[in-house]
Structure 1
Amino acid sequence: MNKFLDVNELYKRDAKLKKEDVGIIMDWAEKQRHLPKITELQATLALHSCFYRVEAAKNCLDSYFTIRTHCPEIFANSNPQKNPPLKTNMNISFLSVLPEVSPEGYTIFITRLMDTNPENYSPVMGHKIFDMVALLQQHTKGPTNGIMVIMDMKGGVFGHVTKINLSDFKKFMVYLQTAMPIRLMAIHFINVVPFMDKILTLIKPLINKELFEKLHIHSNNDNLYNFIPRECMPSDYGGKGEPLAVLNEKYKQSIYDNQWFFDFQDSMLVDESKRSGPRKNADNLFGFDGTFKKLEVD
């Protein structure tokens, strides 16, 4: 049974969310013949992610469905039973939502490698899994004041970096910054690798200044607890939360239990033949023709 959050719950929780603003967005969406039929919940999540700005929410929704449609290599086929690489990578990259929110009311995500062999690592599948888990959280639990991500780099080697395809990475960064209906407030890197400077050099041209300023590099992991109380963390980090092994199993089970949601996501595509004005493609969405090759570094 579908378990979307009742949109009326969001109106009750957040006085800044105005039903009349959501109505304006829904009326606009009805006139966009290229868009799929959006739900009131989707309109509400976009409005919340854009800090209640109606025009920004419209742009967010259009970009959201458009980018997802034009990047099937990242967003399509989100059924692990029918997508063996996805199922495999659910055992390679761990990602979980922590039960406790931060003092600012931010949902806390934590991710790390469970299998540190770079031969088995797929950055694209990592993008996909983050998108799946974050959007499932938004659509079933509802948004909080924002999202904070902890990236534990333990076990990372330079071979992981060389697996990055710049084309795919740029596509996901454009999506993350312009289309994904979340408020990304901070990304904290812990157990930082010695070649972190090379990673920053790689990603800086592909992200905007606002996102770059949200990156926090912790040379001492204890610095993380200036932002997130230690007790919120899993027991592996000295916190009071469940250990990573337990959270890992729960994260995988949540994907299997909510396949209805991912099937719904896969069905929400744009029809470019019905778009008013110029049609979208990889070139005008991302500023390249998709021919970037794998990263080459000295």
Structure 2
Amino acid sequence: MSDPKGYQSSLSHELLEKAKKELNEDPSKTEQKLHDLRQMFKKRPDIKFRTDDTFLLRYLRVRKFNVERAYKTLVHYYEVRDQFKELYADYTPSDVVQQLKDQIHWILRSRDKDGRRVFIVRPGNWDLEKYSITPCLKTAMMLMELICEEEETQINGVVVIADYSGMSMKHVKQLNPIVVRKLADTIQNALPLRLKAIHYVNQPKIFDIIFGLFKPFFSEKMLKRLHFHGDEYGTLHEHIPSSILPAEYGGALQNMTNQEWADKLFSQEDAIIENNKYGFPKSSEVLGAQKQGEDAAGGLVGSFKKLDI
């Protein structure tokens, strides 16, 4: 499937059938859905929207091709980026080099039995002596946005393994409830991410305190997708096969690192900087556009460099 803007589907026949069944995707109607979504942007001339097909399709998919819901999610994406300033300032891979080196986040090379990406977060690797929680969260968001680029992931979704080994009260004290709320809101309501499950492993004695911070901000649907395994990896393997897991979780993979995905992220530095130009224009940009007689919400249509991974 292709269109004048250059989109070409990478989906297999099986994935197209799954998208039709689960996401209401109909290739014969995709062009019209994209048109309808772009038309809704006129409601918010204060927002500089990305309008390329590859970007907008992931929002249609995450909202099962309901144009109104896709539009609201996309608007919220830009609202979050504008309001969550401590996270989205200096939002580039070059700003999180240390966090990537500390292996706080892993993305497995292989998908699970349902074709879902497996994203591992290990907050215990966060070095409190070197940096705050903000760059840790920034790293997670950039990696999640990167995997959202994959069409197969848009259809099949993502599962998270949250490994709390090494977490201490010093870490917990840095978890500001306001930041936790913003993070939960971003993941559930602003990213084009089908989060299918969260698997908690190696929970410490203080886990009840940690979970108590997050639980109020989980949706009812998300609460039903939580699994608690402790250090009994056999139950984890019932959901995610040991053949694709690192040895740390009773799996077959030895010497696991995040280098491959760190390299992918670094290769997209320019593209991420370009994406940061969208959303709510800075006051200087608005004034400049007005002086030139341009629409402050336009001017960048189709200029985004595609993230090919």
> Shorter-chain TM-score category?
0.7 to 0.9
How far does residue 134 in structure 1 lie from its aligned partner after superposition? Answer: 1.3
Q: 1:121 to 1:215 in 2, by over 3 A?
A: farther
What does residue 265 of structure 1 align with? 275
The alignment yields a C-alpha RMSD, in angstroms, of 2.6
Equivalent of 1:168, from 167, 175, 179? 179
- 2:160 and 2:199 in contact (8 A); partners too: yes
1:224-235 to 2 correspondences below 5 Å = 224-235=236-247
How far does residue 160 in structure 1 lie from its aligned partner after superposition? Answer: 1.0
Count of equivalent residues: 265
What does residue 283 of structure 1 align with? none
1:237-256 to 2 correspondences below 5 Å = 237-241=249-253, 243-244=255-256, 247-256=257-266
What does residue 167 of structure 2 align with? 156
- 1:74 and 1:125 in contact (8 A); partners too: yes
Bigger shift: 35-44 or 129-138? 35-44
Task: Calculate the TM-score normalised by the size of structure 1.
Answer: 0.79
Q: 1:148 to 1:236 in 2, by over 3 A?
A: same
What does residue 118 of structure 2 align with? 108
In structure 1, distance between residues paired with 2:254 and 2:48: 40
- 2:99 and 2:126 in contact (8 A); partners too: no
In structure 1, distance between residues paired with 2:130 and 2:237: 32
For structure 1, the residue ranges without an aligned partner over 5 or more in a row are: 1-5, 275-298
How far does residue 254 in structure 1 lie from its aligned partner after superposition? Answer: 1.9
Deviation per residue, 1:162-191 (Å, 9 max, x gap): 111222221121112211111111111111
In structure 1, distance between residues paired with 2:253 and 2:204: 25
Bigger shift: 138-147 or 190-199? 138-147
- Which one has the largest radius of gyration? 2
In structure 1, distance between residues paired with 2:139 and 2:79: 19
For structure 2, the residue ranges without an aligned partner over 5 or more in a row are: 1-5, 287-309
In structure 1, distance between residues paired with 2:43 and 2:165: 49
Q: 1:155 to 1:114 in 2, by over 3 A?
A: closer
In structure 1, distance between residues paired with 2:254 and 2:144: 20
Which residue identity lines up with residue 77 of structure 1 in the other structure? D
What does residue 17 of structure 1 align with? 25
- 2:121 and 2:163 in contact (8 A); partners too: yes
- 1:123 and 1:163 in contact (8 A); partners too: yes
Equivalent of 1:70, from 83, 91, 107? 83
Identical aligned residues as a percent: 22
Task: Calculate the TM-score normalised by the size of structure 2.
Answer: 0.77
1:1-298 to 2 correspondences below 5 Å = 7-9=7-9, 13-14=15-16, 15=20, 16-18=24-26, 19=30, 20-38=32-50, 39-81=52-94, 83=95, 86-113=96-123, 115=125, 117-120=127-130, 122-139=132-149, 143-219=154-230, 220-241=232-253, 243-244=255-256, 247-271=257-281
- 1:188 and 1:217 in contact (8 A); partners too: yes
- 2:11 and 2:151 in contact (8 A); partners too: no
In structure 2, distance between residues paired with 1:66 and 1:163: 24
